[in-house]
Amino acid sequence: MYKLDPTGAETVLYTFTGGTDGGSPLAGVILDAAGNLYGTATDRGKAGCRGGTGCGVVFKLDAAGQETVLHTFSAPPDGATPNGGVVLDSSGNLYGTTYQGGEQNAGVVFKLTPQ
């Protein structure tokens, strides 16, 4: 993940390892009032899911650059392959979708609470 300042200078905020922290983030991130960024990584996370490549994660990156995995997808009946971002409501809940997983392997709509 990176940011660009108004002059176009790039700063790398976090580099995914492709392990339990996730890999292949395809969507943008959102910013909360405390300066935390939230997003999804399409694969990696739980080893063994989807033939060993992982089913993806929802993550938080704090202002100090520390990544925390908030949820690791594990395929049916859970979701898999989140290829969109998340939205944040005023209570701190995160909402998003996955491309795969769910009971029919056609994706899920999910909600993560702050807890």
Instruction: Classify burial at 14, counting beta carbons within 10 Å of its beta carbon; exposed 0-12, middle 13-18, buried 19 or more.
Output: middle
Say how many CA atoms lie within 13 Å of 62 toward its Cβ: 6
Q: How far is it between the farthest Cα atoms of the chain?
A: 47
For residue 114, the model assigns a pLDDT of: 85
Distance CA 13, CA 28 (A): 13
Q: Quick: pLDDT tens for 46-90.
A: 776 766 778 899 999 999 999 999 999 987 788 889 989 999 999
